[in-house]
Amino acid sequence: MTLQETINTDLKTALKAKDETVLGTLRLLKAEIQYELTKTGASELSDTAVMQILKSNFKRRKDTAVEYDKANRPDLSKKEIQEAEVISRYIPKEVSDEEISKAVTEAMGELNVSGAQDMGKVMGKVMAKFKGQNIDGSKVSSLVKQALSVR
């Protein structure tokens, strides 16, 4: 079953269970998937394309929750966090810092980097290694900067 089919099935289940949080979140996701289908003219999106939609929605919910916390609106923050938790069910576990650090060390060894000017090469190599997995680019960037500054 594709990711898109899984979301549609879970949407039907949430509708029957009358779970408003899950239902609302999945409806928004389905709407974004439909928008992408309309833009591309395809009948179904690849799991990679759906994963990008999920990741961007997850990140948006997390960022919005932080902003609501800053604005002293815990009620709205809680709602965003709940929606992020629903989305996280469909996103694979995030790559750990240890795995990223190991990949950075390996990439630096393979590429024979000499300094900060090689950051792009290392970033590209590490991100390519984890393509299709849930990896935070800003984490990779900070770990690469840290590793390059040690050199």
Q: How much is the pLDDT for 82?
A: 96
> Is pLDDT at 151 greater than 70 in this prediction?
no
Q: How much is the pLDDT for 48?
A: 84
Residues 84 and 119 in one domain: no
pLDDT mean over 45-57: 90
Residues 130 and 57 in one domain: no
Residues 72 and 12 in one domain: yes
Question: pLDDT confidence of 133, banded at 50, 70, 90?
Answer: confident
Residues 76 and 12 in one domain: yes
pLDDT mean over 14-39: 95
Residues 128 and 144 in one domain: yes
Q: pTM score > 0.85 for this model?
A: no
Structural domain of residue 68, as residue ranges?
A: 3-89
pLDDT mean over 89-107: 88
Residue located via tokens 């289940």: 13
Residues 45 and 115 in one domain: no
Distances (CA, A) of 137 to 8, 21, 72, 115, 119: 29, 29, 29, 20, 13
Quick one: what percent of the chain has pLDDT higher than 90?
Answer: 50
Helices 74-88 and 47-70 pack at an angle, to 10 degrees, of: 160
Residues 52 and 101 in one domain: no
Q: What is the Cα–Cα distance from 127 to 133, expressed in whole angstroms?
A: 9
Residues 110 and 75 in one domain: no
Residues 62 and 103 in one domain: no
Q: How much is the pLDDT for 97?
A: 87
Q: How much is the pLDDT for 66?
A: 95
**21: nearest Cα among 76, 83, 87:** 83
Among the candidates 48, 69, 89, a domain finishes at: 89
> Is pLDDT at 54 greater than 90 in this prediction?
yes
Among the candidates 89, 107, 133, a domain finishes at: 89
How many residues would you count in the chain? 151
Residues 35 and 64 in one domain: yes
Quick one: what percent of the chain has pLDDT higher than 70?
Answer: 99
Domains: count for the chain: 2
Q: How much is the pLDDT for 135?
A: 81
Q: How much is the pLDDT for 73?
A: 96
